[in-house]
Structure 1
């Protein structure tokens, strides 16, 4: 093999691996949910003090 043939093979392999890595990164980015896609739950809780008073008044 000539040196030019080896150079062509090396460059081809390099660009193939580069394309493979870039496509994998693109796929990972598409699968990862963004902040707007993640469900958020409301953290507003109502505590019924009447139930707490009933529990305090109970005798063990």
Structure 2
């Protein structure tokens, strides 16, 4: 259950050539914008046991 204090979880799909630094940079920018903790992960980094639950609840923005 999400609350006002909940963090924001963002699932991203980067184009080829993006690096871990790009991921960290995105995380920092989003935290500055939203003024709260943001977790950014990629499809390949999702724990296989949790993947079906995460993908079931995803909301595609772009």
TM-score (norm 1): 0.29
Q: TM-score, normalised to structure 2's length?
A: 0.28
- More RCO (CA 8 Å, sep 6+): 2
Q: Hey, which of these two has a bigger chunk of strand by percent?
A: 2
Higher helix share: 1
